[in-house]
Chain A
Amino acid sequence: MIGGLGRSGATRDVSKASGAAREGAEKWEVQLRKGCLELAILASLWGGRLYGLEILRRLESGSDLVVSEGTVYPLLSRLKSLALVDSEWVESDGGHPRKYYRITAAGRQRAQEMARVWREFSSSLTKLLEPLAKEKPAREK
């Protein structure tokens, strides 16, 4: 009886630890996605003007970047205050006007710079991560 209790306690500890590891990784993933969102938005505007919902759809189809749809609009407003994008209201057929965003020259420059940092960062990190890929993930209970 006592042994049984001890074992179930240990099992609980192991599953608690792996749960915590998963939770930690999820939080990190959210931060990572958020950090990349600005670059992704600038990149989505590369080919021409889009309105908020179009930007969201493009980010959703091209990546899993969008954590919450709410984050994109304040970010667009910040990009505008930094003069990296421009905006204009355009009447639509559907009846409600849409706010279109267009990347500015400064925005293109910033996106190129961020893309360069991203490429360098990701290639050096991939190299660092090589030993992890060779090893099987720790057993989980």
Chain B
Amino acid sequence: MGPAHSSGARHDSTINARVEEYLARLRKGLAELSGEAASEIVEELRSHILERASANGETGSAAVEEALAALGRPEDLAAQYMADDLLERAAARRSPWLLLRGLLRWASLSAVGAFVLLGCTIGYFVGGCLMLCAWLKPLHPHTAGLWRLADPPDSYSLRLGFGSVPAGGQEVLGWWMVPVGLLAGGGLCFLTTQIALWCVQQFRKSQALRRG
């Protein structure tokens, strides 16, 4: 009786370790949630795993493995929880950084998300370049700015001024580059944020039909 009991206990602890390992990986994926919200999710899934794996009061390691496999990878599960939460927080705080990270999660889930992410990345990039160019104009007065190029004809190039003057090119804005760059760049970043937030709102409104 004694040996059988101790081997049963060892069996139990292996099962527990397996479940705890799964839940720890899940919790790691939920790190950005509040502690309370993450604990609630972890507790709910612990309850699910233990109950699904126990039949007639016995919990077998094969049944635990089956329950874990049916749930999928803990990282994927966490990502499903996080996608919505990040977008929600980004919408509340209007932070471009949070917004981009939320969109990145969304992009990993759907093509529309990928498209919006691409648009926002381009918007922030061009806006950032315009502002950077305005900041660098005083440092590189002769080379930084918006240039009309001779080759190909009628094309424009925004230059930060680190290279040489483009052959046959003509600078368009002169010192106006500073206010125009700051205003246009800042405006573009603001507009990108507004459009991204609008997309996120539309996405959240339609999520009932789009995914689950």
Contact = CB atoms under 8 A, between A and B. Distances in A.
Nearest to A114: B208
Contacts of B88: 81
A137 interface: no
A75 B212 contact: yes
A98 B210 CA distance: 29
A73 B212 contact: no
Contacts of B209: 35, 114, 117
A35 B212 contact: yes
Interface string A34-64: 1111110000000000011100000000000
Interface residues of A, number: 28
A35 B80 CA distance: 15
Nearest to B67: A69
Contacts of B207: 78
Given A52-B44, A52-B48, A53-B51, A70 B210 contact: no
Interface string B130-146: 00000000000000000
B212 A97 contact: no
Contacts of B40: 99
Which 6 residue pairs across A and B have the least CB separation, nearest first?
A74-B80, A37-B212, A70-B72, A69-B70, A70-B71, A34-B212
Given A71-B212, A77-B84, 14 more contacts: A31-B211, A38-B208, A53-B48, A53-B51, A68-B71, A69-B48, A70-B80, A73-B44, A97-B43, A98-B47, A99-B40, A99-B47, A114-B208, A114-B209
5 contacts: A31-B211, A36-B212, A53-B51, A70-B72, A74-B84
